[in-house]
Chain A
């Protein structure tokens, strides 16, 4: 997890923001946001409602002018080359909008043409993107018949029409059914695998855990740098042990002076590597503890998010 920015921006760093700020009237929506997303990686932007995630995304996308700080998207500065910034970005807004009486394919074709892609190529690309987001059967049906989750997928396809190098996905998992979430996760990984930089904001933290390479936490308009990174790293070392005989487990741990947090059904241990975790499990079984569940404690991002919110309260 790197949230420090080098003085010279490498080519690989597709999104760079440093000290970005923006206020609306007297409301300081974003006070100090700093983040870096390298090409070919997925970064999560996590924070409670109203912490400034969407405002930050709008500034990164070149739709909103920051009041302070520097932004570089694919090497372009929105202050001087806003059009180049927008052209490099595929933006999926948090608000779902579609042209109600146009078909999905028409929507994507027209959107492609708005990017100056020739009509035939735009149409072909539109059809492929519909297949990619599993909306082929809706290609010739008006977009008003789509369900919320289907509209989300159309919106994602729309963000991809011009083959952008940078993707900004604002709450893409909202309203998706579990299967669509899994598909979204795989699609996002694929898109990163193609060399795109992806910045994704979401509340569904368990999904993000498996999807992202890095996470940026945001609270009250500020990105939390290293402290949050430390918390995530710490959260990743926590293992839950559930035993049939809880008291015996705690007694064994206490006897060998192993620090553990007792839980209702067992204990939570801090283990710093997977090798050590395997050893620990074998050791506990040898000690006669009847372990029936052993694994990382839930989502590291979720734990951090919860811990962070507690601190901030």
Chain B
């Protein structure tokens, strides 16, 4: 055994890798494709993984069948919207988890540097990892697809509308995958990069809402309003009785203005100009997804063949309210003056019950018109999508810069490998 000569096999395949010049870093289609396939092979689940995934998928289908048997035939978009939110939520949880250990993990395992030594450029490695992590998230989300299909059939949405919203969700998942990748290129330890990636996601999902609430105090105009009321204490018993009678009958003509003096009361009121900070809401990924959903008119939805306004429609109206800001009647608020009410205009313009009715109807119509205006306010997903695009591009720039060799500096506390 020991005397077996260690010799090379006589024949050896000669290989001719192409010559290289300079220090390219841009991604190339071939390199990205190879890197993606390497990453996907590495993440290929074990048999146990397939079994678990199969069980999950079967459970989802079973729940859908159950729901189909039990549900009524009414259209309702809320189910679909909940599934879409779930898809977004799960995607935003899975994607950064997968990508956030991708670079520092590989470096720790010692499998990154050999690839950097090869003809793969920093761009190839970065985008290959991005696409592979994103594809794995998308495949995981496919487990929820039976829910989606079932909920869609009852939602009153059109297929193209669903496609647009799904595309927006997948784009967001891609952006948060890139964010995870960037953190894994920056932080040395997996614990740090995963937490930072989730914190980033959390900042956009929850932090924007908190910021909106905090920023609200900055754009609130406070003003002091002086209102006038009768001072009950200063009235004699007769005057009080006469006033009570007058209120009871609505006939104030018997009262003598000289006996009833109104005293001023001051209080402060705030008017929040939400239109100045509504962009904070629009940067929220969940709001952005809601903004890609079809508009449901609260008056005509039945004729339009839609379900009643669901979660997204309500969210759209709330956001629209913030976008429009305070309305004229709130801005031109008339301070109340009880004496004027009794002795001035009110006494002169006595409303008959019919007129009162008409007044109420007009108020209601105005309210409905406002609600309709809110529901039909043009959708505004663009800011949110732009924020995601900036995150995506910025993250990938960081990743490519960090993967370029020769390293100028190393992550603190790491070795090259």
**Which A residues are within 8 Å of any B CB, using their own CB?**
24, 54, 58-59, 61-65, 78, 80-84, 86-87, 89, 91, 93-102, 106, 110-117, 121-122, 124-125, 128, 131-132, 158, 161-163, 179, 182-183, 186-187, 190
Set A58, A115, A179, A187: member contacting B118, Cβ < 8 A: A115
Is B19 interfacial (CB-CB < 8 Å)? yes
Chain A binder among B36-44, B76-84, B264-272, B354-362: B36-44
Write 26 A-B pairs (CB below 8 A) sorted by A numbering: A24-B410, A58-B416, A63-B406, A64-B405, A64-B407, A84-B19, A84-B21, A86-B118, A87-B119, A89-B117, A95-B415, A95-B417, A97-B112, A98-B111, A99-B41, A101-B41, A101-B44, A115-B15, A115-B118, A116-B119, A117-B16, A117-B17, A125-B13, A163-B17, A179-B2, A190-B6
Q: B14 within 8 Å of A by Cβ?
A: yes
Which residues of chain B from 194 to 234 have a CB within 8 Å of any chain A CB? none
Question: Which of A80, A86, A161, A179 has the largest count of B CB atoms less than 10 A from its CB?
Answer: A86
Chain B nearest CB: distance from A74 CB in Å? 11
The 8 A CB mask of B1-33 against A (1 = contact, 0 = none) is 010001111011111111111111000001000
From B109, which residue of chain A is reached at the shortest CB distance? A97
Interface residues of B in 25-80 (CB under 8 A from A): 30, 34, 37-38, 41-42, 44, 46
Indicate if the CB atoms of A81 and B21 lie closer than 8 Å. Answer: yes
Known: A64-B407, A102-B41, A115-B15. 16 other contacts (CB 8 A): A54-B415, A81-B20, A81-B21, A83-B20, A83-B21, A96-B110, A97-B106, A97-B111, A110-B34, A110-B38, A114-B115, A116-B17, A128-B11, A128-B12, A132-B8, A183-B6
Q: Decide if B22 touches A83 in the complex (CB within 8 Å).
A: yes
Interface check B114, CB cutoff 8 A: yes
**B residues bordering A, Cβ < 8 Å?**
2, 6-9, 11-24, 30, 34, 37-38, 41-42, 44, 46, 106, 109-120, 405-408, 410, 415-417
Rounded to whole angstroms, the CA-CA distance of A164 and B24 in the bound complex is 20
Asked if A91 and B117 make an inter-chain contact with CB atoms under 8 angstroms apart, the answer reads yes
Which residue of A93, A110, A112, A117 is within 8 Å of B417 (Cβ)?
A: A93
A168 → B minimal CB distance (Å): 10
- For A158, list chain B residues within 8 Å (CB): 114
CB distance from B48 to the nearest CB of A (A): 13
B102 to chain A, nearest CB (A): 13
On whether the beta carbons of A97 and B114 are closer than 8 Å, the reply is: yes
B9 x A128 contact (CB < 8 A) = yes
CA distance in complex: A61, B12 (Å): 25
A125 to B272, CA, bound (A): 71
How far apart are B35's CB and chain A's nearest CB, in angstroms? 8
Could you tell me the distance between the alpha carbons of A132 and B11 in the complex, rounded to whole angstroms? Answer: 11
Nearest residue (CB) in B for A59 is: B406
Chain A residues with CB under 8 A of B120: 114
Closest 10 CB pairs of A and B: A97-B110, A95-B110, A114-B118, A83-B20, A97-B111, A65-B406, A95-B417, A82-B23, A186-B6, A115-B17
Kindly list chain A residues whose C-beta atoms are within 8 Å of the C-beta of B113.
Answer: 63, 91, 93
Whole-angstrom distance between the alpha carbons of A24 and B410 in the complex?
A: 8
A20→B19 CA distance, assembly (Å): 26
Among A59, A63, A78, the one with the most B-chain Cβ atoms within 10 Å of its Cβ is A63
Chain B residues with CB under 8 Å of A179's CB are 2
- A residues within 8 A CB of B21? 81, 83-84
Which residues from A are CB-within-8-Å of B18? Answer: 116
In the bound complex, residues from chain B placing their C-beta under 8 Å from that of A124 are 13
CB pair B15–A112 under 8 Å, yes or no, is yes
Write out the residue numbers on chain A whose beta carbons fall within 8 Å of the beta carbon of B16.
117
Inter-subunit contact B20/A91 (CB<8 Å) = no
Asked if A63 and B13 sit within 8 Å, CB to CB, the answer is no
Task: Say yes or no: A64 contacts B114, CB within 8 Å.
Answer: no
What's the Cα separation between A54 and B410 when bound, in Å?
Answer: 14
Q: Which residue from chain A places its CB closest to the CB of B116 in the assembled complex?
A: A63
A190, B8: Cβ atoms under 8 Å? yes
| B34 near A82: Cβ-Cβ < 8 Å | no
Considering the complex, give the chain A residue whose CB is closest to the CB of B118.
A114
- Inter-chain contact A87/B20, CB cutoff 8 Å: yes
Chain A's nearest CB lies how many Å from the CB of B404?
9
**Cross-chain contact A82 with B117 (CB below 8 angstroms):** no
CB-nearest residue of chain B to A92? B114
Q: Which residue of A lies closest to B39 (CB)?
A: A99
Are B118 and A63 in contact (CB-based, < 8 A)? no
Q: Inside 8 A of B12's CB, which chain A residues have their CB?
A: 125, 128
A125 to B16, CA, bound (A): 11
Enumerate chain A residues within 8 angstroms of B117, measured Cβ to Cβ: 61-63, 86, 89, 91
B30–chain A nearest beta-carbon distance, Å:
8
A214: min CB distance to chain B, Å: 23
The residue among B24, B34, B406 with the most chain A CB atoms within 10 A of its own CB is: B406
Residues of A near B14 (CB, < 8 A) are 163
Contact status A101-B42, CB under 8 Å: yes
Q: B34 near A113 (CB under 8 angstroms)?
A: yes
Contacts of A99 in B (CB 8 A): 38, 41-42, 111
Contact B42 A63 (CB under 8 A): no
CB distance from B70 to the nearest CB of A (A): 43
Complex Cα distance A233/B111, Å?
Answer: 40
Contacts of A93 in B (CB 8 A): 110, 113-114, 417
Q: Are A97 and B417 in contact (CB under 8 A)?
A: yes
Q: In the assembly, what is the distance between CA of A95 and CA of B23, in Å?
A: 25
What residues on A are CB-neighbors of B30 within 8 Å?
Answer: 116
Contact B22 A81, beta carbon cutoff 8 Å: yes
Q: Given the complex, which residues of A lie within 8 Å of B19, measured CB to CB?
A: 84, 87
- Is B116 a contact partner of A65 (Cβ separation < 8 A)? no
* Chain A residues within 8 Å of B41, by CB: 99, 101-102, 106, 110
Please give, as numbers and ranges, the residues of chain A lying within 8 Å of B7 by CB-CB distance.
190
Residues of A within 8 A of B23 (CB): 80-83
Least distance between B114 CB and chain A CB atoms (Å): 6
What chain A residues lie within 8 Å of B38 (beta carbons)?
Answer: 99, 110, 114
Name the distance in Å between A152's Cβ and chain B's nearest Cβ.
12
A113 and B30 CA atoms in complex are apart in Å by: 10
In the bound complex, residues from chain A placing their C-beta under 8 Å from that of B406 are: 59, 62-65, 78, 82
Roughly how many angstroms separate A125 CA and B113 CA in the complex, as a whole number? 21
Most chain A beta-carbon contacts within 10 A, residue among B6, B16, B38? B6
A102 partner residues in chain B, CB cutoff 8 A: 41-42
Chain B's nearest CB lies how many Å from the CB of A186?
4
CB of B241, distance to nearest CB on chain A (Å)? 90
CB-CB under 8 A from B37, the residues of chain A are 110
